[in-house]
A and B are shown apart, each in its own frame.
Chain A
Amino acid sequence: MAKGLPKSFKKALWVYHINSGSCNGCDIEIIAALCPRYDAERFGIKLVGSPRHADALLVTGPVTRQMVEKVKRAYEQMPDPKAVICVGNCGNTGDVFYESYNLVGPIDNVIPVDVYVIGCPPRPENIINGVAKAWMKLETLEAKK
C-alpha cells in the first residue's frame, strides 16, 4: 500500500454491491476476487447484504431507468464515511451502450463516485486495487479528523 498509512488498517472494509443493469461480467469478477485464488477476504474485505452495514459501495452497469431510484436509495442508506467504487466501463462512460433510450447516463450522473475501476470486465486484481484505493481514501479522511 502507499506510504503515509498506518501499518494496519484500523478496521476491515465492508462492501455492498449493487447491479444497476450490467451484463454480469463485472459481477462475476467481483465474486472471483473473493474466491481462494485472489482472496480479498484475507484483507478483511467482506461483502454484506445491506447498505446500512457497508463502508463502500460497488456499483456496476450503466444505470437503467428502472434502477435509478434503487441506486440512489442504496447510497443514501449507507452511513458516513463512505466511498463509491464504480466497476467496469459501462458505469464509467457507457462503453458500448453509449446511445440508448433506457439508460440514465454513467453512474456519476446519479451518485458521486470516488474510485473508477476500468476494464470490460476489470480483472480481479484490478478490482482489489480499486477497493484498496477507496480504503486508503477513507482512512486518510478518518486520520484528518
Chain B
Amino acid sequence: MSKGTTKTTYQLPIGPIHPALKEPVMFEFEIDGEKIVNVDVALGHVHRGIEWAGTKRNPIQILYLAERICGICSYCHPMAFALGVERVSKIVVPDRANYLRVIHGELERICSHILWAGVAAHEIGFDSVLFLTWQMREKVLDLTEYLTGNRVTKGITMIGGVRRDITEDMHPRIFETLNYFKENFEKLRHIFLDDKTFKLRSQGCGILKKEDALSLCAVGPTARASGVKKDVRLDQPYFAYGDLEFDYVTPDVLTGEVNGDVYDRIIVRLLEVKQSIDLIEQCIKNMPAGDIVAEKKIAKLLATLKKAKGEGIGRMEAPRGEVFHYVKLNEGDAPYSWKVRAPTYSNILPWIPMLKGQQIADIPIVAASTDPCMSCTNRVSIVHKNERHILDKETLHRMSVEKTRRLMA
C-alpha cells in the first residue's frame, strides 16, 4: 500500500440510473487524489434463490419464474430456458414460431438500448436527453403491448413456440413504429455521436483492451466495442438468425478504428438499434406460414417433458450479451438442475481494468456504459482496505455532472 492513497467507499446506483432506480450496490476504491489506483470486486444482493426454486416447479411454471429474473431482459431468460428444454426433449419448433421469436427478441433489444441511451445521458448530465429517449421508448412499448398484451413482462414464451401470432392486419402498426424510428434515428445519432460534450466525456474514458476483453470473457456490446467479434446470433445461429442477412457490429463499421472506450460502446449500441429494425423487416417479409407452437395441448406437453432425460444448454444474445441456461432433466416433474448465467455476470470483472487510472467523477458513466443489470447478476461491491469515506450516490452523480459543466465552459 503506497502512502498518499486513501480508501473510499461509496454507493453507486447501477441499473437504469435515476435517483429512483437505486439498485443495491456498494463500491470501495483506493484513490490517490482524484485518480483511482486500485479496484476490487465482490458480489451479492438481489439473490432470491431462483435456481433452487426451479428444482421444485415444472418447466412451464419455470417460464414465468424466469421472466422475473430481470425486468429489462425479461424475454431472454425464458427463451434461453425454452431452447435448453427443447434441445433435451427433442421438440421441433415450427419455422413460423422461430421467425416470431426473432421479432420479439429484436423489439426488446431496441427497447433496452434506447433505455440505456437515456441513462447514459443522465449520468453525463443531460436530463433532457433522458426524457427524449424514454419518450421514444414509449412508442416501442406501445407496440409491444399491442403484440403481446403487456409492456414489460411479456409472457409470450412457450416451450415449443410462442403463445401469440402476428397476423397480416398487425403489420401496418409494426411498420408505423419502425418508420418512426428510422426517421428519428438520425436525431439520436446526432445527439450522441456529434455532440462535443458527449465526445469529451466519453472518448478515451474507460478503455477495455482487446486482450483483457478476451481473457476476462466479456460478452455483448462491451466485448464488441473492444473489437472482439462475439455474437451468439452469428456464432451459433438459433431461432431463424441463420436465414437472415446481418454481420457483427464493431465500432470500425462507423469510425474505422477501435478504441474500446465509452464512445465506442455508444456507437455499437446505436448501430445495433439500426440493425434490429432491419432484422424485423426481413422477418416480416420472409415469414413462412404454419403453426406457432409445436404442441398446443399443455397437458400433453407436460407429459412429454416428464419423460425426457438428458442435459441441454440454451444460449441467446440478450441486449447485454450472452445469456446462458443449463437444464438437466431427469424424468421427473421438475428439472434436476437449472443454472442461469446472465450477461452482467461476465461483464463485471472487466470493470477492473476499465476503472484503473480514471477519475472518480467518471465512475458513473464507465459503469453505466457496460449496461449492468444488477438483478440479473446480484450485487456488486468493490472492496479494499484502510480508511473509509462514504460518498453516496447523490455526491457521485453531482461530481459527474460538475465535470461536464467544467468541460463545457
Give A contacts to B, CB under 8 Å: 17-32, 34-37, 47-50, 58, 61-62, 64, 66-67, 70, 90, 95-97, 99-103, 120-121, 123
- Expressed in whole angstroms, the minimum distance between the Cβ of B172 and any Cβ of chain A is 22
Given contacts A23-B69, A24-B71, A121-B71, contact A31 B16 (CB under 8 A): yes
Given contacts A28-B115, A66-B379, A96-B65, contact A102 B47 (CB under 8 A): yes
Determine if A101 and B49 form an interchain contact, defined as CB atoms under 8 angstroms apart. Answer: yes
Check: B179 CB closer than 8 A to any chain A CB.
Answer: no
Q: Restricting to B366-409, which residues have a CB under 8 Å from any CB of A?
A: 373-375, 379, 392-394, 397
Task: Name 16 interchain pairs, CB-CB below 8 A, sorted by A.
Answer: A22-B71, A24-B21, A25-B74, A27-B21, A29-B152, A31-B21, A36-B134, A49-B19, A64-B46, A66-B24, A66-B45, A66-B47, A96-B64, A100-B49, A100-B52, A100-B53
Number of A-B contacts (CB under 8 A): 135
Specify which chain A residues have a CB less than 8 angstroms from the CB of B374 in the assembled complex. 24
Q: Give the docked Cα–Cα distance between A141 and B44 (Å).
A: 40
Q: Is the interface of A mostly helix, strand, loop or mixed?
A: mixed
Specify which chain A residues have a CB less than 8 angstroms from the CB of B379 in the assembled complex. 66
The range of chain B's interface size is 35 or more
Q: Is the interface of B mostly helix, strand, loop or mixed?
A: loop
Q: Give the docked Cα–Cα distance between A62 and B46 (Å).
A: 9
Q: Give the docked Cα–Cα distance between A63 and B254 (Å).
A: 45
Q: Give the docked Cα–Cα distance between A37 and B139 (Å).
A: 10
- Expressed in whole angstroms, the minimum distance between the Cβ of B70 and any Cβ of chain A is 5
Q: In the complex, which residue of chain A has the Cβ closest to the Cβ of B115?
A: A28
Specify which chain B residues have a CB less than 8 angstroms from the CB of A36 in the assembled complex. 131, 134-135
Determine if A35 and B71 form an interchain contact, defined as CB atoms under 8 angstroms apart. Answer: no
Check: B339 CB closer than 8 A to any chain A CB.
Answer: no
Q: In the complex, which residue of chain B has the Cβ closest to the Cβ of A22?
A: B375
Check: B138 CB closer than 8 A to any chain A CB.
Answer: yes
